Structure 1
């Protein structure tokens, strides 16, 4: 028997898991790897990855209201309040009353927050590069763009929930 590049002849070659062809498994595996990498990259700010995404929203001008921010990020509003308190104490952002509605608060990055976000964004960029290095370089931007298109689609409407509801209704009527 001949051995292949360091593989032992008495050990069967590992086969790819059938799960790797499953969309749900694949997207979950990518998410788990990304979440773990981002948490390691930004774990030194309050709230870790959640804090990073709140800061990202504030830097990019998406913090027009705490309620909208909580919905956009999928964070419970009471949890977000504590997270905002911690980020504010760290000098990364501040909450300002909305001039049009004093009950509403705008979440705005401070100068320190913007500088810190730039540092964190560079770290997160390294995580993304490492994850995407398996793709040809010329395909990476296209993949990111398509992924962001899908994310925008599922976050802006209830399309997925509607499809699932329709499927369940049709299965029940059969």
Structure 2
């Protein structure tokens, strides 16, 4: 018997199927805290995710940005319009293809993201407050690995669609 099956079949292990319920509850707790933390951000959670990706991941063009975030290009256009109107990002010609647009953060956008990152970090700390520091770090690391595995096996999967289908 494999080690993972042995552990899952121990008397204290949750029955198969409970993992989904647990993940759903954690996700709901995260979502409510995240929504509160980004209150006032132009375009809300999506605006935060876009601005964070623009600053931390440096997508080469608008299409790559949408692909990374699994946002439909039409929806992305509206979200970017909101962020441009708010003065936090701007569209510039992409260096690799002048027909494409690269999204870059303005100084105002960088400052705004720094403020919201503090709020999001506090919300995440609140969510994880029931765990010891090392446990929270381990959980974050393991979830990151699992998320990347899922992303590699289902590159077009949208986490937002999963949210829409929670019970």
1:87 to 2:83 alignment: yes
Deviation at 1:149, TM superposition (A): 1.4
Q: Counterpart in 1 of 2:105?
A: 109
* SS at structure 2 position matched to 1:52: helix
Match of 1:51 among 26, 32, 47: 47
- How big is the alpha-carbon RMSD for the aligned residues of Structure 1 and Structure 2? 2.2
What does 1:75-154 correspond to in 2, within 5 Å?
Answer: 75-154=71-150
CA contact (8 A) 2:54 2:65 kept: no
* SS at structure 2 position matched to 1:97: strand
CA-to-partner distance for each residue in 1:108-132, whole Å, 9 max, x for gaps?
Answer: 1111111110100000011100110
Q: In structure 2, what is the Cα distance between the partners aligned to 1:121 and 1:145?
A: 19
Higher Cα Rg, which structure: 1
CA-to-partner distance for each residue in 1:130-158, whole Å, 9 max, x for gaps?
Answer: 11011112221121111111112212333
**Count of residue correspondences:** 143
TM-score by length of 1: 0.75
CA contact (8 A) 1:57 1:63 kept: yes
Q: Structure 1 residues 62 and 152, CA, compared in 2 at 3 Å: closer, same or farther?
A: farther
Q: Which runs of 4+ in 1 moved over 2 A?
A: 156-159
1:31 to 2:27 alignment: yes
Q: Counterpart in 2 of 1:67?
A: 63
Q: Counterpart in 2 of 1:172?
A: none
Q: Structure 1: which 5+ residue stretches go unaligned?
A: 1-17, 162-174
Q: Structure 2: which 5+ residue stretches go unaligned?
A: 1-13, 158-167
